[in-house]
A = this chain, B = another copy of it.
Amino acid sequence: MARYKLTLEYEGTRYSGWQVQQNARTVQGELLEAAWNAFGTKELELMGSGRTDAGVHALGQVAHLDVRSQLDPRVIRMRLNDGLPADINVLDVSIAHPRFHARHHAVSRTYLYQISRRRTAFGKRYVWWIKDPLDIEAMAEACAVFEGFHDFRSFTRDDPDEKSTTVELQECYVAEAGDLILLRIRGSHFLWRMVRQMVGMIANVGRGASSVADLRELLRKASALPATVTAPPSGLFLEHVAYEDEDLPPEIMPTIRI
């Protein structure tokens, strides 16, 4: 049995998220089908570093693939891409350690969120367009509140698979790039909807609808009212999954010029 590590990008617009489902088009589903064809067998296993929701994109999702046949990683990549639709692209295939696990061994995940201050003919699928004026200073202050160890129970929906709601965020900051406001959030792991609920609240602070003190309250009293604004999936990108001894993602930058 060989184990391969795959790195891939996808535009999530047309998909019901990463996780394979019956009667729904998913990224894992498309990738499995391409792998069945590439290896000529359905006896294989594919495990992602984590799920992404419907409409969420990835610049660097990681998965591991177990299969009996051994092939040159370059051939695997070529065959997979030949079988995949244009909005899913395998960036890299490498031979992995037999015990490498895409989910368990990830030390951090980095998300990029793009807010646009203007209507754009090209960006609709890749941004959250906010018409209201946004106070960037206040948003930066809001971001800083999230860094460190916190109980994020107010920033998730109930997920029976999650035992703990305590998460360490190594990075949470805002940057401007022309008409785009970029948020980068890096953490050990993420709860269901957590990034989009965080971004929703950070945007609320930017609009003046919530205060930084409100955010602190939400983090302190995990039982308080949950975050009420969930940012749309279109602006969200799983940017990078890091494993031990690997580089962190490069300087923050937008995915589109708008």
B124 lies within 8 A of A86 (CB): yes
Residues in B whose Cβ lies below 8 Å from that of A121: 8-11, 57, 86-89
Mask, A81-100, CB within 8 Å of B = 1, is 10000111100000000000
Is there a chain B Cβ closer than 8 Å to A120's Cβ? yes
Q: What is the interface of chain A, defined by CB distance below 8 A to chain B?
A: 8-11, 57, 81, 86-89, 119-122, 124, 126, 253-257
A254 lies within 8 A of B255 (CB): no
Residues in B whose Cβ lies below 8 Å from that of A126: 122
The list of the 5 closest CB pairs from A to B, nearest first, reads A89-B121, A86-B124, A9-B121, A255-B257, A10-B121
Nearest Cβ on chain B to A132's Cβ, whole angstroms: 15
Count of this chain's copies in the oligomeric assembly: 2
Residues in B whose Cβ lies below 8 Å from that of A255: 122, 256-257
Contact of A9 among B11, B57, B86, B120 (CB under 8 A): B120
Can you list 30 contacts pairing A with B, beta carbon distance less than 8 Å?
A: A8-B121, A9-B120, A9-B121, A9-B122, A10-B121, A11-B121, A11-B122, A57-B121, A57-B122, A81-B119, A86-B119, A86-B121, A86-B124, A87-B121, A87-B122, A87-B124, A88-B121, A89-B119, A89-B120, A89-B121, A122-B126, A122-B255, A122-B256, A253-B257, A254-B257, A255-B256, A255-B257, A256-B256, A256-B257, A257-B257
Q: Using CB atoms, name the residue of chain B closest to A82.
A: B119
A120-B57 Cα distance, complex, nearest whole Å: 13
A86-B124 Cα distance, complex, nearest whole Å: 7
Residues in B whose Cβ lies below 8 Å from that of A88: 121
Given contacts A57-B122, A88-B121, A254-B257, 17 further A-B contacts (CB under 8 A): A8-B121, A9-B120, A9-B122, A10-B121, A11-B121, A81-B119, A86-B119, A86-B121, A87-B121, A89-B119, A89-B120, A122-B126, A122-B255, A255-B257, A256-B256, A256-B257, A257-B257
Nearest Cβ on chain B to A93's Cβ, whole angstroms: 13
Q: Using CB atoms, name the residue of chain B closest to A9.
A: B121
Residues in B whose Cβ lies below 8 Å from that of A256: 122, 255-257
